[in-house]
Amino acid sequence: MSKTILQVKDLEKTYENGVKALKGVSFDVKEGEFLVIIGLSGSGKSTLLRCINNLHEPTGGQILFKDRNITRLNKKDSRTLRSEIGMIFQHFNLIPRYSVLKNALTGALYRTPILSSLFGFFSQEDKDKALNYLDLVGIKEKAHVRADQLSGGQQQRVSIARALTQGPQILLADEPVASLDPATCHTVMDYLKKVNRELGLTIICNLHFLSLVRQYADRVIALKEGKLVYEGDPKNIDQSWFEEIYGESAKEVHVN
């Protein structure tokens, strides 16, 4: 059995405005796993991901990344942590005016000296890496096109390449396909699966559609109002669990 890469223990997050987004969430993530987090809007999925890479500071509990506590890091250590954890977003968050390649290269910012990076100099090694990952997500031929010229699905593939260029040990994906059409949705999810299989990269992904969850997830956890309400095999989510997670009146929609 593979090693545990991440342990979340009693994680709590209360925002400054008093909203309790996470109320003691615990789970483990195994190396090389494709873990999916589901839950209603506002259940705390995004908050959870952002706590893992220190974009938000948890207000309670612990996160162990390779057995090292990563809550309450200083500025420098939290930058180091972020460089080891890639993240992709619902709205891709590329820099529209930059080329696809330059966008991918921003994944190398952490290890590029500040002055060189400000002048746009990246090492040849990093350029090769970025091109290589653009190739992996099938968008290498667009390397010199401006990012805002691409379709949504293509942009999300660039953002995967950006995250991979970091050389991360975990990839976080916050609803990576929520603003894409169903067909493109599968393309992007297939690339994520490919990254997971071929590079052995651990992926933690927030998703809305259960049909996608069943197709791609190795394991699934469900959040409800900041608490963990389900953990297990996606195939075991039946009608009663579904109602438990999404409420009585919810109906499942399918993405084909």
Partner 1 sequence: MKQAKTLIRCILLDGFIFTFLALVALVVSIQPTEETMLKMGNNVMIFFGLWALGGVLVFILQKAKIKTLGNILFDPPQALTAQPDKHWTMSFWGIELIVAFIVAFITGLNVAHISIYELTDQDGLVGAMKVFGALFDPNWTILPKAILAVIETIFIAFMATVFAVPVAFVLSFLCAKNIMGSNPVSFGIYATLRTILNVTRSIEPLIWAIVFSVWVGIGPFAGMLALLLHSVASLAKNYSELVECVEEGPIEAIVATGASSLQVVWFAVVPQIILPYTAFTIYRWDINVRMATIIGLVGGGGIGTMIMQYQGQAMWEEVGCLVFVIAFVVWVMDTTSAYIREAIK
Ligand X SMILES: Nc1ncnc2c1ncn2[C@@H]1O[C@H](COP(=O)(O)OP(=O)(O)OP(=O)(O)O)[C@@H](O)[C@H]1O
Q: By the criterion CB under 8 A, which residues form the site for partner 1? A: 53, 55, 79-87, 89, 91-98, 106-107, 109-110, 114, 117-118, 159, 162-163, 166
Q: What is the DSSP letter of 34?
A: E
Least gap, CB of 70 to ligand X (angstroms): 19
Q: Tokens 């699934």 — which residue?
A: 220
Q: How far is the CB of 141 from partner 1 (least distance, A)?
A: 23
Q: Residues in contact with ligand X, total (CB under 6 A)?
A: 12
Q: Which is nearer to ligand X, 21 or 221 (CB)?
A: 21
Identity of the residue, 150 or 212, whose beta carbon is nearer to ligand X in the bound complex: 212
3-class SS at 88? strand
| Chain position whose Cβ is nearest to ligand X | 46
H-only helix segments in the chain: 45-52, 75-84, 100-105, 114-118, 124-136, 152-165, 182-198, 210-216, 239-246
CB 160, CB 195: distance < 8 Å:
yes
12: which 2 tokens? 């709590």
Q: How far is the CB of 246 from ligand X (least distance, A)?
A: 12
Answer with the entry of Mg ion, ligand X, partner 1, none that 80 interacts with (C-beta below 5 to 8 A by kind): partner 1
The distance of closest approach from Cβ of residue 117 to partner 1 in the complex, given in angstroms and rounded to an integer, is 6
Q: How far apart are CA 182 and CA 255, in angstroms?
A: 6
Distance of closest approach, residue 40 Cβ to ligand X, in angstroms: 7
When the beta carbons of 200 and 247 are compared against ligand X, the nearer one is: 247
Which residues in the 21-80 window bind ligand X by CB under 6 A? 21, 39, 41-47
Q: Which of 180, 207, 191, 185 is nearest to 40 (CA)?
A: 207
Distance CA 165, CA 249 (A): 43
Which of ligand X, Mg ion, partner 1, none does 82 bind, CB closer than 5 to 8 A by kind? partner 1
**How long a stretch of residues is the chain?**
256
Query: Residue numbers of the site for ligand X (CB under 6 A)?
Result: 15, 17, 19, 21, 39, 41-47
